[in-house]
Structure 1
């Protein structure tokens, strides 16, 4: 009968408490133990942790001042090391454990399985042969011909493979002649590397670095592969630099077969109260034999009570965004817009004040150069609102109800210039007084505003039509009065129905605006969203003049929570404007304007319907409609269909949408086919030009260890006649390896 033995090995001595054999009596065992202890050196306090030894049989090794264990051997040294093997020996001289046969070692939480191991319990250094590894936490796993344990946190793998996927067999892995892992530095460095998908090697790199857990670490990121009509085959290999806890940088090399080699860079920074990002991508274009690139800069922060915001956009060539895949700016942009703004806000219970100043500059992508592109540098804006009772004593409104009267002020100072040498300074001041009070179930709101706008013109700006230096000014005034109410009726157990009528009268007058430059005024789309307002133009350079009355009705049906009802809430609005003779310039000479309406329906199950329309009752035609039907039954699934039609309407000598007819159909879907597969598609089709503006479709597979997406489509440029061409792209994401810009 074999009797299980155990003992405790303590640094430099062995304290045994075992039954050596049923044939060895107690005095004999004690004599042997005393002899063994007399051979060992005196212990050094704190040099090693005690080690528990369990085995089927234990033998003393006098020559090495240790023990030999056989059969179901288990050695435990606190939480630092646990070893299981068929056979093991421990030497008190060298502090080494030698084990072989079904070796399983737990070292600092990582698990190793191999044929044999040599391990020093004092230095925690060792070597394993023919070993597999499962690292602690999310440190990955791998295998090697040999692994050198170089300390508590470092190891070297020879003729090895590694992956951060827990699946078996792993869907991806790297193999290398040598892999160094440093858990303390969160680093894996490999040399002579092959990248495998399944068992097939698909790429080779002389050197590779990546993190071994989710903490930020310098290393390679997931590559990106694309092919397209105009550029050919593209592959991007990014590398991430963890510069500091508050700074990082990603650089990438992107060979493009028909264009050359592109370089990309993203630098991010953040600190106490600020953050920013610099991005650029540059290439010597072999096809056009010129240097091309696109750069952006973003910054936001707060300093001494000021909110600072900056955005910079610049392209070396004006058709760059049409020719290359990029996500720095919108691919449909007609100009690149940059700005720097400093703002200070003071919000009080009874009012507010706001001060902003900065600069804006633009790069026109549709012009040959920016000689005549208008820049705004610098500009300043101040606005405030306060009740009359907050004004100093002695104001003319002292005897009025100050809680109902408010004073609002707005001041603009702008400097517009063109690189041709022409410039305009504009100053605009617009104080206003507002009075509001309830009248039974109604609410009255009256507003009066004076505006003075002065221009100092230098040179011959293209916006002025003049060829000499001059000064111009405009004086204008606006008076408006509006009434509105909300009527409710509740139907218990069903819904609440509201009727919300509103009417507003506006009168605006202005001196001649014909000689004024126009830098920022465009006519707004006439829709329900801007039915009411002092001016029908955006910007300050043009003021809509004359009399007009706007009237509208909004009705809502709000569900009380009836779970059996199909709908949740419904909102419908309709409105129109009337203008007397002499004030119909903005209504195509008609006394009544087009009828504008808006509809919103929210149904159960994630269904939504949104629509906006503009109907001309004189021509009896629909001038504008926008309809969107969407359903989102789950977080993974969504379908949206849209239709947009717009017949531009002339007003004030200007045309909506630059006079272009629009009739588009759009689709945007994302469907989960099952737990792993999903499909998405976006498309925009011009019905009036019978051409696809843009489309994109993609099929994605997401696994616990990796994700794969295949995308194809056609990029839209800044007009429907100029496209960036078709493309197809492959993206592979791997667990443990980050993505560019993430």
Structure 2
């Protein structure tokens, strides 16, 4: 049968079923010319350009014969095979889709950090083993590599090893030396040095150097020396492990005798001997039994800010804890021990806390669903000596206090869909909490038994309309679909028999600029529960299209607020109106916007906008603005305004430049400039970065740093220098 069509879908999938596949996988064949298909044998033939798609495999060639029954494809002429994220380019290919076996002639491909070519390649794509005859191997990503290994036979197991028989090492086309057999372990980070030289006005000239080595496949260690002309010498040994049946983790230590330690936020002098210990471990002891632990100790509150800036921006006050979790299909049991290891920060000690969570589950064959959350623990609220580190305060005192607490919450939900479009989910729940008498200098509450009742209902629906005829090549629009999702969530909590001011505050509300959850157990400020009656009103609009054959969002816009039928002290009837907008009119142009509108004053208390342009891989540009005028729950705050911009431009295949600019206005004006110049040195890359911080309350801070990274073993993850640009400056 000759089918003169552009695309043929071989939907019978008889071959796939005969091979025992659980789900039939369709064959899609696209051809510039006609496709000859034999219905009896399941063999298709095409010439003059063909594309074959089957599951996650895509093959293109000038000519091909496809056997649907055996899964065998024979292709010739500029063959391109894509599978599991790898691309194989060859002149002739025989590939079995069922067995994942490949035989290719005049082949080129990239496997892991290496580029491989040869006269013939035989590969098992399932087990990821490749054998290349008369092959070439290099990590230099140029058409004419500066160095390579040419061998009679190459055996490659990605991520494990390479082995070359009768190998010649070449610089360009010049042979350098010959070895009869060569084997190299490809496991990441064998033994290597790292260096980052630079200058910073706070440090003086500096050199960050480190040596990292592997004891075996499961144990690695390193030693870093940080030399500063102004601050002294820092030493940082580390040990990491990844042991089957035990888990993975790391322990790091840092010590420096700081020549200029400076002052703490409270004005006291920081001791010159500064240290930190950071430990983490994650392991699966048995099926569904997991242990997580973190210990973050430091000698003073400023050491991370002073010497580990990238970590400080991610988490300025890391917690220390040990957690054991046993998971079942409908329940999970958690044992948490969380001490305060740094006495200059506020923390709630949980020594320990045992929690049983029941996930939402159907009650038998009834239409009801049940969920629960129960905990038992001994808690102690610890306050810092430095008031600038306070996160919140107790109801009556800033002196430490402790108490036993047992809390148990249970809820029944009855979700139902009316008229096949209206989703209604009424709920009813109850909570019992026992508090022991508070002890300690700040213990002013007595033993209490509190009961809390709650009820509510959530109503929502989704409506959509399709316009398939809307087309635009310029905007890459292929049809439009509009989806609207209004929702109303009502919560009623009558006044509990014990109000929050009579309870020790361990889990209370902290100041925030976003709306907190209104229903249990998502609202987890257990000790702050009071009467409430609130309606959360929401409206979401989405506008979708198809771009490059996949779904893309032109617009995603959510608007929501709370109507407080019962108001707490200091609250208005309506919460601020929040607007969250993501707009993507073009595939390379995105705009995100966030607004918080004060309903009493009709003012914008907070705005945030970001515009990003990425038209190609040569340049990109982004600009953003964040304005905060009011921070709920924080007295005497001044707000701030932030303007930021970034630009990336690739000058040619070897050079690129990136610039970041930030301007913040609060009590004064603060400027931040960061400029990085990138250079591609074939098998490795380098960057020179310059940063200026224009500090209104102190001297300006200048930094210059040079970083290097091997392409075969990159120092940073892909794009990590964009999301965390301070990495290019050292720590």
The answer to whether the 8 Å contact 2:291/2:325 transfers is yes
SS at match of 1:221: strand
The reply on whether 1:252 has 2:238 as its aligned counterpart is: no
- The corresponding residue for 1:125 is none
- The corresponding residue for 1:416 is 379
Could you tell me how far 1:704 is from its partner in structure 2? 0.6
The reply on whether 1:342 has 2:342 as its aligned counterpart is: no
Counterpart Cα distance in 2 of 1:592 and 1:733 = 54
- The corresponding residue for 1:439 is 418
The answer to whether the 8 Å contact 1:577/1:592 transfers is yes
Q: Choose from 502, 520, 524 the match for 2:507.
A: 520
- The corresponding residue for 2:666 is 688
- The corresponding residue for 1:106 is none
The answer to whether the 8 Å contact 1:418/1:461 transfers is no
- The corresponding residue for 2:283 is 301
Could you tell me how far 1:637 is from its partner in structure 2? 4.6
Q: Choose from 580, 590, 609 the match for 1:598.
A: 580
Could you tell me how far 1:664 is from its partner in structure 2? 2.2
- The corresponding residue for 2:349 is 375
Deviations along 1:112-147, one digit per CA (max 9) or x if unpaired, are xxxxxxxxxxxxxxxxxxxxx988569xxxxxxxxx
Q: Which moved more, 1:624-633 or 1:661-670?
A: 661-670
- The corresponding residue for 1:712 is 690
Residues 218 and 339 (structure 1 numbering): CA distance in 2 closer, same or farther, change over 3 Å?
Answer: same
Deviations along 1:541-593, one digit per CA (max 9) or x if unpaired, are 21252222222222222225599x9x85212222333233xx1237x554333
- The corresponding residue for 1:197 is none
Counterpart Cα distance in 2 of 1:715 and 1:303 = 47
Could you tell me how far 1:446 is from its partner in structure 2? 0.7
Could you tell me how far 1:313 is from its partner in structure 2? 1.4
| Structure 1, unpaired ranges of 5+ | 1-108, 111-132, 139-151, 155-163, 170-180, 187-212, 391-401
- The corresponding residue for 2:655 is 677
Bigger RCO of structures 1 and 2 (CA < 8 A, at least 6 apart): 1
- The corresponding residue for 1:697 is 675
SS at match of 2:318: strand
- The corresponding residue for 2:563 is 578
- The corresponding residue for 2:453 is 477
- The corresponding residue for 1:641 is 623
Deviations along 1:299-345, one digit per CA (max 9) or x if unpaired, are 11211221122222121222112322454x32474423122211122
Residues 435 and 523 (structure 1 numbering): CA distance in 2 closer, same or farther, change over 3 Å?
Answer: farther
- The corresponding residue for 2:706 is 730
Matches within 5 A, 1:66-85: none
- The corresponding residue for 1:320 is 303
The reply on whether 1:267 has 2:239 as its aligned counterpart is: yes
The answer to whether the 8 Å contact 2:405/2:435 transfers is yes
- The corresponding residue for 2:94 is none
The normalised TM-score by structure 1 is: 0.62
Counterpart Cα distance in 2 of 1:716 and 1:657 = 28
- The corresponding residue for 2:128 is none
Could you tell me how far 1:648 is from its partner in structure 2? 3.0
SS at match of 1:321: helix
Counterpart Cα distance in 1 of 2:327 and 2:692 = 44
SS at match of 1:685: strand
Matches within 5 A, 1:47-126: none
SS at match of 1:323: helix
The reply on whether 1:425 has 2:404 as its aligned counterpart is: yes
Which has the greater radius of gyration?
1
Matches within 5 A, 1:134-149: 136=149
For the aligned residue pairs, the C-alpha RMSD in angstroms reads 4.1
Could you tell me how far 1:411 is from its partner in structure 2? 0.5
The reply on whether 1:286 has 2:296 as its aligned counterpart is: no
Could you tell me how far 1:657 is from its partner in structure 2? 9.3
Counterpart Cα distance in 2 of 1:544 and 1:610 = 36
SS at match of 1:667: strand
Counterpart Cα distance in 2 of 1:715 and 1:265 = 31
Q: Choose from 594, 597, 600 the match for 1:612.
A: 594
Q: Which moved more, 1:379-388 or 1:486-495?
A: 379-388
The reply on whether 1:237 has 2:209 as its aligned counterpart is: yes
Could you tell me how far 1:499 is from its partner in structure 2? 2.1
Counterpart Cα distance in 2 of 1:642 and 1:249 = 41
SS at match of 1:470: coil
Residues 575 and 239 (structure 1 numbering): CA distance in 2 closer, same or farther, change over 3 Å?
Answer: closer
Q: Which moved more, 1:531-540 or 1:545-554?
A: 531-540
Counterpart Cα distance in 1 of 2:481 and 2:188 = 53
Counterpart Cα distance in 1 of 2:671 and 2:637 = 19
Deviations along 1:363-419, one digit per CA (max 9) or x if unpaired, are 56xx7x35x6432222221111354543xxxxxxxxxxx442111111022322267
- The corresponding residue for 2:429 is 449
Q: How many residues align?
A: 520
The answer to whether the 8 Å contact 2:188/2:713 transfers is no
- The corresponding residue for 2:4 is none
- The corresponding residue for 2:125 is none
Counterpart Cα distance in 2 of 1:216 and 1:238 = 16
Counterpart Cα distance in 2 of 1:333 and 1:722 = 24
Q: Which moved more, 1:706-715 or 1:610-619?
A: 706-715
The answer to whether the 8 Å contact 1:322/1:716 transfers is no
Counterpart Cα distance in 1 of 2:212 and 2:315 = 29
- The corresponding residue for 1:507 is 492
Could you tell me how far 1:512 is from its partner in structure 2? 1.2
The normalised TM-score by structure 2 is: 0.63
Residues 669 and 448 (structure 1 numbering): CA distance in 2 closer, same or farther, change over 3 Å?
Answer: farther
Could you tell me how far 1:741 is from its partner in structure 2? 11
Counterpart Cα distance in 1 of 2:522 and 2:576 = 14
| Structure 2, unpaired ranges of 5+ | 1-134, 137-145, 152-164, 262-270, 383-398, 471-479, 719-731
Matches within 5 A, 1:97-246: 136=149, 166=171, 219-246=191-218
Counterpart Cα distance in 1 of 2:188 and 2:353 = 41
Residues 501 and 424 (structure 1 numbering): CA distance in 2 closer, same or farther, change over 3 Å?
Answer: same
Could you tell me how far 1:481 is from its partner in structure 2? 1.0
Deviations along 1:178-197, one digit per CA (max 9) or x if unpaired, are xxx999797xxxxxxxxxxx
Could you tell me how far 1:218 is from its partner in structure 2? 5.9
Q: Which moved more, 1:591-600 or 1:731-740?
A: 731-740
The answer to whether the 8 Å contact 2:438/2:504 transfers is no
Counterpart Cα distance in 1 of 2:336 and 2:205 = 43
Residues 215 and 636 (structure 1 numbering): CA distance in 2 closer, same or farther, change over 3 Å?
Answer: farther
Could you tell me how far 1:639 is from its partner in structure 2? 3.2
Counterpart Cα distance in 1 of 2:436 and 2:180 = 68
Deviations along 1:160-185, one digit per CA (max 9) or x if unpaired, are xxxx995799xxxxxxxxxxx99979
Matches within 5 A, 1:513-592: 513-523=500-510, 525=512, 527=514, 533-534=519-520, 538-560=524-546, 568-580=553-565, 583-585=566-568, 588-592=570-574
Counterpart Cα distance in 1 of 2:574 and 2:198 = 55
